[in-house]
Amino acid sequence: MLDKDAFLHNYNLEEKDLTDHDINWDTLIEIFNDFIGKSAAYSIHAEYIAKILRTNGNIHTVRSRVKDPEHLVAKLIRKTPDRQKSKKDPNFQFSIDNYRDEITDLIGIRAIHIFKEDWEAINTFIDNTWKVIEVTANIREGDDKTQYELLGAKIDSRISGYRSVHYLVELNITKESVVVAEIQVRTIFEEGYGEIDHLLRYPHAKVPKILEDNILLLNRIAGSADEMASFINILKRDWFAMMGNYEEIIDTKNKEIEELTRKIELTEMKAPDKKSLLEIVGNIKKHNTNNPYHTSDLGVSGTSFFTIGEHSKKLVDQHGEAIQKIGGTAIQVVNRHGDAIKILGDAAIHVVNKHDQALKSLQKSLDTSQTQKTPKAKKNDHS
């Protein structure tokens, strides 16, 4: 049996909260007992939904609960004046017949994800799995509403900064029995903030301003943490994608450098000049092979960050400048011997020199000589 005086005291309520809105305590006790009798079945339904949600790889953690019977009674008392106003019916009262339709979070499931961008995939999963009655996006005032509006979700802007997307879904337990459950989807940082906020506020009717201000500050920190986590996730994805391409790119570059080295070695020039040119090519190959993605090479301090795109551009520019520099040096040295170097493509150097031309010329002369030495066939004269 629920003791009235103890209950009102524990939940920061007063007798006038009942009398001002004609709330009957005996009706509340009837609802209290009815709900206790149904709680075991509700627990099974809650766990069933939770198990399905756990199969989604974008969800980090799933928690389920059935509403505490005392919390239900406190909610009925607090929600009665709201219902009377929204329904424009001053005589409205919760009853054993309507409370399960009016209170939609008797079964509550919370799906927690790590990165903000995971929400869209989870939203699709829920929409494809259950009949969704309603979607409410609880957002902080000033947040972008676009993605929620496109999905037709109700928007509830909270001054407190509370963020969470709530889904009301239907479960057809039997042909005659339909159960409604609430699924809350939020990030792990939103979950941490929400739990602390709830702990500090509930069941107090009024929170001191100094506490209110610090809760709001905590909300801002949690929001910033969400943004930072998403940035790190994108950074990681792009970073390792670039590293995966790095070895292939370097292998191609090294083959081009080896081809340049081979052609330099075949070129007739003074030994010191050839040695100098080969040393330059060797140095660019050494620089080319060092992994520029090692964190010690980034020059990133605790207060300065480079985006992947900026760093990538920097690496490409540096590599291009180095290749051009080597090409320029090669031209200066080889040109003194009458050779010409052409740079073909953004990252490749192809050397075309007079030695190659001489070989072609020699081959042509040999072919001509061979043709001249071949005896001509005698012409038959039938006249």
Residue 167's nearest CA partner among 200, 209, 201, 124 is 124
Instruction: Report the distance separating Cα 222 and Cα 121, nearest Å.
Output: 22
Instruction: Say whether both 172 and 257 belong to one domain.
Output: no
Q: Is residue 236 part of a domain?
A: no
Per-residue pLDDT tens digits for 292-326: 544 444 444 333 334 444 544 444 454 445 445 44
Per-residue pLDDT tens digits for 89-148: 999 999 999 999 999 999 999 999 999 999 999 999 999 999 999 999 988 877 778 888
Q: Is residue 184 part of a domain?
A: yes
Instruction: Say whether both 329 and 281 belong to one domain.
Output: yes
For residues 279 and 32, which has the higher predicted lDDT (pLDDT)? 32
Instruction: Say whether both 52 and 170 belong to one domain.
Output: yes
Residue 316's nearest CA partner among 346, 338, 281 is 346
Instruction: Say whether both 54 and 180 belong to one domain.
Output: yes
Instruction: Say whether both 168 and 270 belong to one domain.
Output: no
Q: 192, 207, 222: which is the final residue of a domain?
A: 207
Grouping H, G, I as helix, E, B as strand and the rest as coil, residue 88 is: coil
Per-residue pLDDT tens digits for 269-293: 778 777 777 777 777 766 665 555 4
What does the pLDDT read at residue 311? 43
CATH of the domain at 121: 3.30.460.10
What does the pLDDT read at residue 382? 47
Q: Is residue 43 part of a domain?
A: yes
Instruction: Say whether both 181 and 62 belong to one domain.
Output: yes
DSSP of 50-83? HHHHTT-TT--EEEEEE--HHHHHHHHHHHHHHH
What does the pLDDT read at residue 353? 43
Q: 178, 207, 236: which is the final residue of a domain?
A: 207
Q: Is residue 275 part of a domain?
A: yes
The whole-number average pLDDT for the span 334-339 is 40
What domain range is 85 assigned to? 4-207
Instruction: Say whether both 183 and 263 belong to one domain.
Output: no
Average pLDDT over the chain, rounded to an integer: 76
Residue 311's nearest CA partner among 236, 237, 231, 239 is 239
Instruction: Say whether both 78 and 130 belong to one domain.
Output: yes
For residues 59 and 380, which has the higher predicted lDDT (pLDDT)? 59
What does the pLDDT read at residue 153? 84
What does the pLDDT read at residue 205? 59
The whole-number average pLDDT for the span 34-55 is 95
Q: Is residue 125 part of a domain?
A: yes
Q: Is residue 214 part of a domain?
A: no
Grouping H, G, I as helix, E, B as strand and the rest as coil, residue 104 is: coil
Instruction: Say whether both 73 and 127 belong to one domain.
Output: yes
Instruction: Report the distance separating Cα 123 and Cα 150, nearest Å.
Output: 13
Using a pLDDT cut of 70, give the percent of the chain over it. 72
DSSP of 141-207? TT---HHHHHTT-EEEEETT---EEEEEEEEESSSS-EEEEEEEEEEHHHHHHHHHHHHHHTT-S--
Instruction: Say whether both 59 and 177 belong to one domain.
Output: yes
| Both tokens assigned to 42 | 């509700």
Domain count, the chain: 2
Q: How big is the chain by its Cα radius of gyration, in Å?
A: 38
The whole-number average pLDDT for the span 54-77 is 95
Q: 207, 230, 257: which is the final residue of a domain?
A: 207
Instruction: Say whether both 201 and 264 belong to one domain.
Output: no
What does the pLDDT read at residue 200? 80
Instruction: Say whether both 9 and 144 belong to one domain.
Output: yes
